[in-house]
A and B are shown apart, each in its own frame.
Chain A
């Protein structure tokens, strides 16, 4: 099976510059400088149909094209390594195991869209990943891979690391940009999108670290070859962090044509003595997959019943107290609500109260009515998607008639 993201991982050892060069690292970058104009790089990315792995699945080629065509100067390029969706550690793992693969993606991207200043925004708690990235950065500067006239070309790029300070919402691109600008990390109204008006009001690319980790492979092997991996409308491989009631929980790279059932099988299947109740795909903001939907294929396809999102799979068994899971979700979103808009700030707080009463056995008739109103409000009226995220799981629990057995 083709591997792109983890192909060169050495178990227990991070690839340093020497290791990375040995396995063909920075060959794509050399190819780009030697043979490709920036618009040819963008064209190759479009051909690949690589979709953003940060959750939303926006095609990288279209994003790069939008920024490449902007007249304003300077432009910026940001790698999003803020990863903080519960159950996810794919970006951190990429940074720890093969930091140069991410950096090569950033450098190629910056060249393609005409950027000379890039940032890597990393979650502040990722100490080891941060060290690996810092070392990789230093090695790049010392080996002519960053700085002035990279590899003898006329292309200059400065790359800076920026540490977040513990806020899930800062993974959202416009909040991330506020955070980088030294402001509170609150989301901004869209449009304008960062591709027009981003960091310091300039056209800005924000790409997820996993997305960028496929860039060098695409340049070397061609966009067409990438587009043929897995499902046609959602191609490529993806990292899946599979955990919960499975035999071999872990991080797996697979083409995106696997059913939920196959994903669970990859992790050794459901543990003996446990019965699957549902799987949740894409962290605490992800959809629930009951037994009847195990043959669905999570992907970035617009028709997908189950969006793959960030790609985590949590297998929840019938042993689990569902009320505790409901509380875990709402605790997370209530804590992480940035407080900018009332429906989310108040709504998550009220919903938490109701679910606590559900847990204590004090759930009453009024709570039942309020519950549906709050779900509607969070689903439809909040300023950014976090509000909507907070009720995705709960809505599914109701849809699949699991709430009834709790009250």
Chain B
């Protein structure tokens, strides 16, 4: 869908700025400079305003990110369920470091998503997986990347 088409689903009112940015993010996977310009014109606000909002929220990407985003919840409940171990295993299996990002994948920690009882929790490109173990996490990631990886 073109950005314009996405925007037309919203009335140009202030309260629709964030929903529209989210929709563009969902549609294109990220919010580019070009998109920021279009959104700003549509709502009659400055580009700085739109960029400021877009860059504020975790769910919105202002960079064209890696193919696979791996997030591991390290909030207290998951931490007591060995979240750190999962991070270490993924790091050593795929030879990446937490915080690193390359074209193929990025690995980072994330905040509690409220599924604590079913922890440890990881998220792959936004999809939540519960009750993970190191092995399960590695398998899931391989599936995303194509099994030969």
Contacts and interface: CB of A to CB of B under 8 A. Distances in A.
Given A328-B76, A332-B75, A165 B117 contact: no
Given A162-B15, A165-B60, A86 B53 contact: no
Interface string B1-30: 000000000000011111101100000000
Interface residue range, chain B: 35 or more
A319 to B, nearest CB: 9
Given A124-B59, A165-B58, A324-B84, A87 B76 contact: yes
B111 A335 contact: yes
Nearest to B18: A182
A3 interface: no
Nearest to A250: B117
Q: Which of A124, A186, A250 has the most CB of B within 10 A?
A: A124
B141 interface: no
Nearest to B25: A165
Contact of B116 (A183, A243, A331): A243
B48 to A, nearest CB: 11
Contacts of B146: none
A314 B60 CA distance: 31
B76 A125 contact: no
B11 to A, nearest CB: 12
A324 B86 CA distance: 14
Interface of B: 14-19, 21-22, 43, 45, 49, 52-53, 56-60, 74-77, 79-80, 83-84, 109, 111-117, 128
20 contacts: A86-B112, A86-B116, A87-B77, A88-B112, A89-B115, A89-B116, A125-B114, A126-B114, A162-B15, A162-B19, A164-B57, A165-B21, A166-B57, A241-B117, A243-B116, A250-B117, A251-B117, A280-B76, A283-B76, A332-B111
